[in-house]
Chains A and B, each alone.
Chain A
Amino acid sequence: MKATLTVAATAMLLFTGAIHAHHSTTPVYDSKRIVTKTGVVTQFKLVNPHATLKLDVAEEDGKVVPWIVEFDGRVNLTRFGWDDDTLKPGDRITVTGNPTHSDSPRMFFIELERSDGTQLGRAMIDPTVDALEEARRKRAAQK
């Protein structure tokens, strides 16, 4: 997970906001910081322009805080295999993202890990990075 996160974080630093989002995310989210939360999914909406996830997070003092995780839009995520059932209410996940500037309980998604260990990376970053490197290798081979 750490390696994936490094790639995603690098890309985030390069682009500040979401590459293919319909607008910059920097007014809301601090791309220089990362936050990780574990909780239970209560809702997942795969919509445009941004998908959202509601997550009940039990803090150290026992208080349950509802977090919102914002994603790229359905237009992005479905290209890489996401669907309405990718995340379901009751799923226990650990999610990492960029927090808001105000540290409100909200983040912009980078990656998550389900309780069974399966991982999902930020859809617009990893496949694109891989495709770019593959295209570069082909170009070099043709030279």
Chain B
Amino acid sequence: MKSKVFGGLVLAGILTATGSACSQKPAALAEVPELSGMWSGVLNGAIEDMFCDWGWCTDVGRERLADLLDDATNDERPTIQLFGEAALYQIEHYVVPRLTPAGRATLGVDPADDPGFLLCEPWGFARQIFAPHQLQITQLKDRVELHYGTWDARRTVWLDKHAAPRSAAVEPSGLGFSVGHYDGETLVVETSGIAANFAPWGWDWSSRFIDGKHSAELNATERYTRSEDRDRLLLTVTLNDPWSMSEPLVLKRVWSAAPNEQIYPDKDCERPHDFIKGSAAQ
């Protein structure tokens, strides 16, 4: 069963201003899709969108969730429990079968080894692009700025890669080097130069921390577009890392328009001194 949201991603016709609070597009960019504005978590609307807001989702996971919701024997179970079950299902039935032995061997990393926890080190690309909370998009003539509420992280997508600082294209970094272009109503972003880091497979779902790791060979294609009702920002990402994946993974994420939200500084991270290893296994 194809999802309602992702089944209609391609918008027809020329976009016009809709009065949406996400209308921040400069007049000079009238020919490009209007993606600028503040986007954030989905707290209303289709339940499948809410599922894809918490971390990432797959078509496999959405279909599993639909089956669980349609099953009358689950009527008394909390929805949050069904989310957890569907999330675990997509990890076990979609992600894991597509990992190489090397990739599988990294599953179940100890959360105490997470540099984000131990060292207050911001996430790398593979986790940041699925980060919860806000994503602020600013479309400029030669680039697109992506600003995330989680970690107050910022990425630049170069529409004109010659405008990028030379070092940005050469030095591997946490968030990598991104170039982009518009394909109809979609912003397409190609990212490489991503330093080896944690992969977002588990993201605290389902009582287990199942994150793994990816190598510096990771590259990604992100496709951002708006839903037909203009109220959602839809992301489809193809991740490819020959070291950890036997075939590319296609993961999705949904945000909701959130013109009244803002992103706050993230500068008060406290390195923990009182913690244990192996907590996920307890």
Contact = CB atoms under 8 A, between A and B. Distances in A.
Interface in A16-59: 16-24, 26-28, 32, 45, 47-50, 52
Given A11-B80, A24-B280, A101-B275, A16 B268 contact: no
Interface in B75-95: 78-81, 83-84
Interface SS, A side: mixed
B112 A48 contact: no
B204 interface: yes
Interface string B251-270: 00000000001011111111
Interface residues of B, number: 56
Contacts of B110: 27
Given A10-B78, A139-B69, A26 B45 contact: no
Interface stretch (B12-20, B145-153, B171-179, B234-242): B145-153
A139 B269 contact: no
A47 B280 CA distance: 26
Interface string B150-161: 111000000000
B207 A22 contact: no
B80 A22 contact: no
B279 A27 contact: yes
Given A22-B123, A132-B50, A139-B46, 4 more contacts: A17-B204, A26-B111, A100-B274, A136-B79
Contacts of A19: 54, 132, 204
Contacts, number: 141
A29 to B, nearest CB: 9
A14 B84 contact: yes
Interface in B124-161: 131-134, 149-152
Contacts of A18: 204
B45 A45 contact: no
B181 interface: no
> Range of interface residues on chain A?
35 or more
A15 B204 contact: yes
B104 interface: no
Interface in B215-260: none
B189 to A, nearest CB: 23
A135 B80 contact: no
B41 to A, nearest CB: 7
12 contacts: A23-B111, A26-B279, A26-B280, A27-B110, A47-B267, A75-B150, A76-B133, A104-B274, A128-B80, A131-B44, A131-B50, A132-B50
Contact of A16 (B150, B207, B270): B207
A19 B269 CA distance: 18
A59 to B, nearest CB: 20
Contact of A22 (B40, B43, B116): B116
A132 B275 contact: no
Given A17-B111, A132-B80, A106 B117 contact: no
